[in-house]
Amino acid sequence: MMVLGLVTLVLHGTLAGLYYAFSMSVMPGLRAVDATAAGEAMRGINRKIQTPWLFVPFLGAPVAALVAGFLASDPAAPWYFAAAGVNLVGSLVVTASINVPLNNALDAGRITFGDYAPRWTAFNTVRAVATVASLVLVGVALTR
């Protein structure tokens, strides 16, 4: 069970770090250059990020937390379930309902980078906060 708990922690930490890095450095960096170049760069990022390096933590973190919740002892289980729920809503739902549609609109030319960046970054920050919270919840579960 300890190995599953640590894997769950690493998956949540990886995802939290990704979202944090985008909100704190990538998007401000892109907003500091020409909007046309920034939009082209973001379209490239959106295409290249879709690899197992993204999908394993993106899909694996909430699944691992859920499985850990079912396998954990009584004091730890609710913390794992909470981590899974926070991650599902704060990462998966936000991504599917807001960030990916914005990415698709940018890719199709239906939105300018200037209109895209503030909204995308705000919701990416929501994802960062949610995954940091789920990371903390997994950490608490590991102490139970």
Residues 6+ apart with CB under 8 A from 60: 11
Q: Report if pTM > 0.85.
A: yes
Q: How many domains, in total, are found in the chain? A: 1
Half-sphere exposure (Cβ direction) of 56: Cα atoms closer than 13 Å: 9
When the pLDDT of each residue in the chain is averaged and rounded to a whole number, the result is 97
- Cβ of 67: how many Cβ atoms within 10 Å? 16
Task: Report residue 133 as tokens.
Answer: 């919270």
- Report whether pLDDT(104) > 90: yes
Express each pLDDT in 79-96 by its tens digit. Answer: 999 999 999 999 999 999
Residue labelled with tokens 């981590």? 83
Alpha helices, H only, the chain: 2-21, 27-31, 35-48, 52-71, 77-87, 94, 100-108, 113-143
- Residue 53's domain comprises 2-143
Q: What is the pLDDT of residues 106-141, one digit of tens each?
A: 999 999 999 999 999 999 999 999 999 999 999 999
